[in-house]
Structure 1
Amino acid sequence: MAPPRRVARGFGFLRGRLMANHGSILLSQSLLRLSTVVVCSAVFWAGLFLLFFEGFRFLDDYVQVTNEIVEYLFSVFFLSLLIMLLASTGIILYASLFRSREAYFLLATPAPEDRVFSHKFIEAMAFSSWGFLLLGSPMMVAYGITSMAPWPFYPIALAFHLAFVAIPGGVGAVAAILLANLLPRQRKTVLVGSGVLVVAGLAYTGLQVWTTPGSTLSSEWMNALLGRLEFSTNHLLPSRWIAAGLLRSARGEWGDGLFYLMVTASHAMLAYLAAAVVARDLYRVGYGRVLGGRSARRHFGWYGADAAFHRLFGFIAEPIRLLILKDLRTFRRDPTQWSQFLIFFGLLAFYFVNIRRLGYDVQSPYFRNLLGFLNLAVTALILSTFTSRFIFPMLSLEGRNLWLLGLFPVPRRSIIWGKFAFAAGISLVATEVLILLSGLMLKVGGVMLALHAAIVAVLCFGLSAISVGLGARLPNLREEDPSKIAAGFGGTLNLLVSLAFIVLVIGPPAVLSHLYFAGRGSDIYQVIGRRSEGVLHTRLLLAAGVSLLVGAVATIVPMRIGIRAFERMEC
């Protein structure tokens, strides 16, 4: 076995070369991707900063117990991120440690198991924690500005963030290694069970908020809400340490702030040390059990659903129906896909259900209309992320088996249309339910509800066609990782086209309805109110026609491009 220092230097050199090669590729071949990521991240960061800034200003102007409320908000916020980081890091580490080719190669080298684990742990933390920094940093900057915190608060806040992410990382690593050793064949069952527990916890918390007595934002309602969220301020939770430390640091209480920082950092080091010890003793054993259990997997429990699908969609040609069923089975057998799908759309549904408890149902029609279109835009953005991440790489993931599709007794264009039907079907069901739920909670009215539902249908068909068509036109058959396919040139171009399509579809009706409701309280409206409503309906109908035309073009043109490219492809 090689000396530990030499092994550590070797892995450090490997990480350095990988980062240098990746950076050179970004600068020389993927400038579009790099610039897109930078611009989108900056816009997203600025939007979150403005949201948090206005929220803290609202608390400072209208609520007297600002510090107490902020402490509860911080505790709930970081507790939610703690749970999400625990799940994401555990899933990424399990895939990196037990399913990657690099791990297979590294375990064959003289490197100790804990050094291999350390290398993969740093990689997984980089992938799972950047989103936490992107979400947490605008909140910290906004709070620091509104509370007029001294400048040392900002580097201390960064140190808190870096220490905090290592705690769920270490716990998730221990869970992943124990899962491989104790339940090597039931990882999906454990993942489903964990997801059910998380959803149950969110539902319970939402029910507590929903049933809080008193009118929204009143002192009675606020006191009752703080009492029900008191569990997040338990002194044994890391979310409590970071919340208390940030608040103390913002007030200039450096002794208490540094104390909580040391508590967080020491537990982060303890979590990593525990994970390294577990990896040293159990990583190789668990790897062998995972490999030994793959050949004995059994699939059951979905035959009734598959038969019902065949009967329900009997009007589709049987070969195409079988291809759609294959994609459905691939989707439900891949926890990475359906877990992220449920997380994104589940959190959005949780927000829509609680809209009325936030007081929007008693606001003016102007705010209801504005919030309705904002909810529509958020749903569209999440849908575009889903199609770019999972639908675009579908043909590329066929990889070396793509020649099998060429042997099917169906035209190649039918295969592309089958992919489109699968993508549009899943997205249509999820988004229509969400947008109807949002409209009912906001009480936007029948006309606007029908308009939102029609726009969502246009978005589903258009975004699915863009992802399928460009995926067939710009495939990457050499890559097996869907995240890398989606992050390449084709995936970046697909995301840009999808964002432009969303703006063109939602923009016209959103602008017209906004102008109408913005002038609804004027004196002119009191005179021509009913006539203006008729004008609004006419203009919305024209805007819906424009959106429908854009959707038809975005559906037909990419599909024709993809079909033409797929028919010319040598399989």
Structure 2
Amino acid sequence: MAPDGRISRAFGFLRRRLVANHRRALLSQSRLRLATVLICSTIFWAGLFVLFFEGFRFLDDYVQVTNEIVEYLFSIFFLSLLIMLLVSTGIILYAALFRAREAAFLMASPAPEDRIFAHKFLEAMAFSSWGFLLLGSPMMVAYGITSLAPWPFYALAFAYHVGFVAIPGGIGAIGAILLANLMPRQRKTVLGIVSVLLLGGLIHTGVQVWSTPGSKLSGEWMNALLDRLEFSTNRLLPSRWIAAGLLSSARGEWGDSLFYLGVMLSHAALAYLAAAVVARDLYRPGYSRVLGGRTARRHFGWYGADLAFHRAFAFIPEPIRLMILKDLRTFRRDPTQWSQFLIFFGLLAFYFVNIRRLGYDVQNAYFRNLLSFLNLAVTALILSTFTSRFIFPMLSLEGRNLWLLGLFPVRRRSIIWGKFAFAAGISLVATEVLILLSGLMLKIGGAMLALHAAIVAVLCFGLSAISVGLGARLPNLREEDPSKIAAGFGGTLNLLVSLAFITLVIAPPAILSHLYFAGQDADMAWMLGRQAESFLYPRLLIAGAISLAFGAIATIVPMRIGIRAFERMEI
């Protein structure tokens, strides 16, 4: 057998063994994690399916779902996913090809560079495409049911998804390899520029939608909106191919559908082939440049901000202030953390800003109250994801340098409280701004706005304490990858406790205010009666006190557990 054939078989055997070992570990050691992922994914998929299904039914009341407007919706949806996949795949492949330990081992093996690239490329595709399938499949199923599409539509939809993912994967791989060769030291700068460009494009699109003339859902408004979104239907974009192909298959036009599928798959193969050729010629030089580009230079660009931080928080003891500053510097120097933070909370802020343009503020009080608590729940869920992903692994990432913390001239409990202060401070600023913006856009009133702000503060303190406390109680000092720490038993338990805490805090005031505003609605007045505001506010104070009690328990208990464990830890 030719050497290339033996190498391909070796990599195939390696992938099969890795999958088998991972599956065995999940079934034998991480059943809680597996069950949590499956349950959460199922709930998320079902929620998206209901959302898309109701959306298509709403469109069907005005236009046929196979009409032009659906093609525009599909095009803009898949164009957004194309950009997200392009960036995420590029980041994943850059880390896998140039930063991972396995890459150093494989580069020392007799395997050629393009085979190493193919192995890591398949891993990156599997890691980045599952989220795309989780987002795209409920939309396809909902559209197929609503439009009464024939059964081959679903099989073709899966084939379209597979081909679509490979295109941004190949382009992202080429970008990662070129970045390593041309700018090995400027990866953070490039990521920052890309983030700014994406944010600028998002703001520009939002402004275009915001300034669409005409009353909402009128013919004039719809035509103007379609004109402004016409850029997403360019015939050279893969998002246009998948949108047109899926619509053709839903209508039973198999010739057009197979044509677009052929275009999609041929370009996917071309993208991978181009990436493999680039990897064959430039992967090893780029790897050498990345290793040689590491430097121990000290950066002083943020000296003014650090000095302002010291002066603003001079009331905090200096050792603790230095610990908080260390965590703040780690956060801003890690593009993975601040980029995901900006993306998630930036998209949420973009939605809140457009609430009035969507007409939600002119709905009745019952709907506005319901939407305000839904916005609060979504903000809390994103915050819990952030704390579980980045705050929980903070102490574990100290790793081999943990002994330095033991030498600090401060008590160990002060170190834990310093990490809590950092987590609570950064989350409190972001979430309070979002919730105040949501309440102002929905015009929920001063009392409800103050209640939402208080609930957010309780959530920030509780979620930060849960992540810091459990992170100190269940550290993983042998792992250097924060995503693997967050995906372990401790991270899974932290996420479950965070979700339960969010439910206990939001449920009392949400249920009470929901019943009150439902009683104001004429359709439900017979069941609940029309209540005056004198009924609502005293009971909201009681519900707020219950939420505050849960918040105090979630703050004190995990912190005490974490402090006790950290003080007893042998460093």
TM-score bracket, shorter-length normalisation = over 0.9
1:271 correspondence with 2:247: no
The alignment partner of 2:241 has SS state of helix
Which residue of structure 2 lines up, in the alignment, with residue 413 of structure 1?
Answer: 413
Give 2:52's aligned amino acid.
F
| CA-CA distance at 1:220 after TM superposition | 1.2
Which residue of structure 1 lines up, in the alignment, with residue 321 of structure 2?
Answer: 321
C-alpha distance in structure 2 between counterparts of 1:337 and 1:200, whole Å: 20
C-alpha distance in structure 2 between counterparts of 1:542 and 1:264, whole Å: 58
| CA-CA distance at 1:62 after TM superposition | 2.4
The alignment partner of 1:358 has SS state of coil
Give 1:282's aligned amino acid.
L
| CA-CA distance at 1:66 after TM superposition | 5.2
**Higher mean C-alpha displacement, 172-181 vs 122-131:** 122-131
C-alpha distance in structure 2 between counterparts of 1:5 and 1:531, whole Å: 77
1:79 correspondence with 2:73: no
Whether the 8 Å CA contact 2:519–2:530 is kept in 1: the answer is: no
Structure 2 gaps, min length 5: none
Q: 1:217 to 1:291 in 2, by over 3 A?
A: same
**TM-score after normalising by structure 2:** 0.98
Instruction: Describe how 1:381-392 pairs up with structure 2 within 5 A.
Output: 381-392=381-392
Give 2:165's aligned amino acid.
V
Q: Can you list the C-alpha shifts for 1:150-187, whole angstroms capped at 9, x where unaligned? A: 00000100000011000000000000000000001111
Structure 1 gaps, min length 5: none
Which residue of structure 2 lines up, in the alignment, with residue 394 of structure 1?
Answer: 394
Whether the 8 Å CA contact 2:520–2:530 is kept in 1: the answer is: no
Whether the 8 Å CA contact 2:519–2:531 is kept in 1: the answer is: no
1:330 correspondence with 2:336: no
Q: Can you list the C-alpha shifts for 1:494-536, whole angstroms capped at 9, x where unaligned? A: 000000000000001000111111110339979x999621110
C-alpha distance in structure 1 between counterparts of 2:450 and 2:210, whole Å: 27
Matched length: 570
1:516 correspondence with 2:516: yes
C-alpha distance in structure 2 between counterparts of 1:318 and 1:404, whole Å: 17
C-alpha distance in structure 2 between counterparts of 1:502 and 1:371, whole Å: 17
| CA-CA distance at 1:477 after TM superposition | 0.8
Give 1:538's aligned amino acid.
P
Q: Can you list the C-alpha shifts for 1:339-389, whole angstroms capped at 9, x where unaligned? A: 111111011111111111111011111110011000000000000000000
Whether the 8 Å CA contact 2:65–2:147 is kept in 1: the answer is: no
Whether the 8 Å CA contact 2:516–2:531 is kept in 1: the answer is: no
Which residue of structure 1 lines up, in the alignment, with residue 538 of structure 2?
Answer: 538
The alignment partner of 1:357 has SS state of coil
Instruction: Describe how 1:215-234 pairs up with structure 2 within 5 A.
Output: 215-234=215-234
Give 2:235's aligned amino acid.
H
| CA-CA distance at 1:296 after TM superposition | 5.5
Q: 1:64 to 1:119 in 2, by over 3 A?
A: closer
| CA-CA distance at 1:431 after TM superposition | 0.4
Whether the 8 Å CA contact 1:2–1:111 is kept in 2: the answer is: no
| CA-CA distance at 1:297 after TM superposition | 4.5
Whether the 8 Å CA contact 1:129–1:165 is kept in 2: the answer is: yes
C-alpha distance in structure 1 between counterparts of 2:523 and 2:565, whole Å: 58
**Identity of aligned pairs, percent?**
83
Whether the 8 Å CA contact 2:66–2:247 is kept in 1: the answer is: no
C-alpha distance in structure 1 between counterparts of 2:524 and 2:401, whole Å: 66
1:163 correspondence with 2:163: yes
C-alpha distance in structure 2 between counterparts of 1:2 and 1:420, whole Å: 58
| CA-CA distance at 1:219 after TM superposition | 1.4
C-alpha distance in structure 2 between counterparts of 1:277 and 1:33, whole Å: 39
Instruction: Describe how 1:230-379 pairs up with structure 2 within 5 A.
Output: 230-295=230-295, 297-379=297-379
The alignment partner of 2:212 has SS state of coil
| CA-CA distance at 1:67 after TM superposition | 1.5
The alignment partner of 1:393 has SS state of coil
Give 2:403's aligned amino acid.
W
C-alpha distance in structure 1 between counterparts of 2:500 and 2:281, whole Å: 52
Whether the 8 Å CA contact 1:185–1:297 is kept in 2: the answer is: no
Give 1:499's aligned amino acid.
L
Which residue of structure 1 lines up, in the alignment, with residue 466 of structure 2?
Answer: 466
| CA-CA distance at 1:126 after TM superposition | 1.1
Give 2:305's aligned amino acid.
A
C-alpha distance in structure 1 between counterparts of 2:521 and 2:246, whole Å: 44
Whether the 8 Å CA contact 1:209–1:225 is kept in 2: the answer is: yes
| CA-CA distance at 1:215 after TM superposition | 1.2
C-alpha distance in structure 2 between counterparts of 1:530 and 1:252, whole Å: 53
